[in-house]
């Protein structure tokens, strides 16, 4: 099942809802759950009817009629609390993946980003509590740690909202946790598909924002496994951070297009040279769990067993430029090859 895969998670008979379920993560998460488990119901909650229609067609070509009977497609926006409350009735587990994610768009349209990422998070929390949802995992981003752009700031506020929600659940018992990871290899909006599109047009050079830039990298399958295993191990209030490799942007370009020249075009508005997932201040409350870190809540007014793991050094921080694990060109191509192989297997099964 791959890296970060859960070992004892049982989703059979559960009703699971994914906000933003038609996006890259949501689709892969839903496919994975259908392949591995037998949930009672699997609900896609999103606002784009075209994406939902396309997803239904794709799913009908991939899965048996028995599996498709488990699926529900619910049109709605996380900005709409009443619609969320309707959708969450009878739901056991919520995976909150809906967000506005594009950094430049958020810089230009701050109120839209705030309404979806912050107020939407508050709406999800209230709907979960109103419907006595058992477990909630919210997806975050490395940009939420020491944010310098609006997207990162809104996701930090979202993270704080979900962590603090555990103090509100009382006898309802809903538990909320967060997962935070880096750039997803091959997902929409990442640099790799962007380079691939340029190379298909036979460009003579690839644009590089800054030769010093580094990024954390994780595959889509690893991201799904990480969410599932965090769901398995959560106690409530944790921000789970995977141990994943870093890579230089120049090495990404060299691996994908050997011999093709690069051109420095400058950093985009709100962009960092290096990404960070755990700051030195966060490290005081962070536990090393082996294949991941967990930032535990600093303020707890609910019953919660502490996670068992090693404590970090006083000045520890987890950043893409000081990471202990690095990916080279061969490693990146292996990552991309694994994704392509999975897609070929999927098509062969259709």
Which of 225, 162, 176, 221 has the alpha carbon at shortest distance from 9? Answer: 225
Contact 42, 16 (CB under 8 A): yes
- Is residue 154 one of the residues assigned to a domain? yes
The rounded distance, in Å, linking the Cα atoms of 186 and 194 is 9
For 14-23, the pLDDT digits (tens) are 999 999 999 9
Q: Calculate mean pLDDT across residues 215-227.
A: 96
306 falls in which pLDDT band (50, 70, 90)? confident
In a domain, 223, yes or no: yes
Q: Tell me, yes or no, whether 213 lies in a domain.
A: no
Mean pLDDT of 105-110: 94
pLDDT at 268 over 90: no
Question: Given pLDDT bands bounded at 50, 70 and 90, which one contains residue 305?
Answer: confident
* Residue 291 CB contacts under 8 Å (≥ 6 apart), including other chains: 3, 4, 242, 243
Local structure of 207: helix, strand or coil: strand
pLDDT the model gives residue 343: 53
Task: For the chain, give the percent of residues with pLDDT over 90.
Answer: 81
pLDDT of residue 339: 59
Q: Is residue 4 part of a domain?
A: no
At what angle are helices 329-349 and 249-256 packed, to 10 degrees? 60
Q: Does some domain include residue 43?
A: yes
Predicted local confidence at residue 207, as pLDDT: 93
Q: Are 70 and 41 in contact (CB under 8 A)?
A: yes
3-state secondary structure at position 222: helix
Q: Mutual orientation of helices 24-36 and 220-233 as an angle, nearest 10°?
A: 60
What are the pLDDT digits (tens) for 187-214? 776 788 888 889 899 888 999 999 999 9
Residues belonging to the active site: 143
Tell me if 328 sits within 8 A of 217, measured CB to CB: no
Q: Please count the structural domains in the chain.
A: 1
71-84: per-residue pLDDT in tens? 999 999 999 999 99
Question: 7: buried, middle or exposed (CB in 10 Å: 19+, 13-18, 0-12)?
Answer: exposed
- Of the listed ranges 100-109, 132-141, 236-245, the least confidently predicted one is 100-109
Domain of residue 117: give its range: 15-182+219-243+278-320
Encode burial over 246-283: b for 16+ CB neighbours within 10 A, e otherwise: bbbbbbbbbbbbeebeeeeeeeeebbbebbbbbbeebb
Per-residue model confidence (pLDDT) at position 350: 47
Report the CATH number at residue 310.
3.40.50.720
In a domain, 187, yes or no: no
Residue 193 domain-assigned (yes or no): no
Structure tokens at 196: 């691939």
Residues forming a β-bridge with 241: 293
In a domain, 209, yes or no: no
């Amino acid at each position: 099942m791959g890296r970060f895969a859960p070992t004892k998670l049982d989703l059979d008979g559960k009703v699971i809802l994914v906000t933003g379920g038609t996006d890259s993560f949501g689709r892969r998460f839903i496919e994975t759950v259908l392949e591995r488990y037998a949930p009672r119901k699997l609900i896609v909650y999103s606002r784009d009817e075209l994406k939902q229609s396309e997803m239904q067609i794709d799913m009908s070509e991939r899965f048996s009629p028995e599996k498709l009977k488990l699926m529900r497609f619910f049109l709605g926006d996380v900005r709409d609390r009443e619609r969320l409350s309707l959708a969450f009735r009878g739901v056991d587990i919520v995976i909150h993946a809906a967000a506005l994610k594009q950094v430049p768009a958020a810089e230009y349209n701050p109120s839209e980003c705030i309404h979806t990422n912050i107020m939407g998070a508050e709406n999800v929390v209230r709907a979960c509590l109103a419907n006595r949802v058992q477990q909630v995992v919210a997806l975050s981003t490395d940009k939420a740690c020491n944010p310098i752009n609006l997207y990162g700031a809104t996701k930090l506020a979202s993270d704080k909202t979900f962590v603090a929600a555990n103090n509100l659940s009382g006898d309802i018992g809903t538990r909320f946790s967060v997962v935070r990871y880096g750039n997803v290899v091959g997902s929409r909006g990442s640099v790799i598909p962007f380079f691939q599109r340029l190379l298909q047009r036979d460009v003579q050079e690839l644009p590089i924002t800054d030769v010093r830039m580094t990024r954390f990298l994780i595959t889509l399958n690893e991201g799904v496994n990480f969410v599932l295993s965090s769901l398995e191990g959560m106690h409530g209030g944790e921000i789970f951070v995977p141990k994943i490799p870093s890579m230089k942007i120049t090495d990404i370009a060299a691996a994908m297009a050997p011999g093709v020249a690069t051109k420095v075009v400058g950093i985009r508005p709100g962009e960092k040279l290096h990404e960070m997932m755990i700051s030195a201040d966060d490290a005081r409350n962070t536990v090393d769990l082996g294949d991941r870190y967990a930032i535990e809540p600093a303020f707890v007014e609910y019953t919660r067993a502490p996670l068992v793991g090693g404590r970090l050094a006083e000045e520890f921080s987890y950043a893409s430029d000081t990471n202990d694990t690095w990916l080279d060109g061969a490693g990146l191509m292996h990552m991309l090859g694994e994704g392509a192989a999975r897609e070929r297997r999927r098509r062969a099964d259709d």
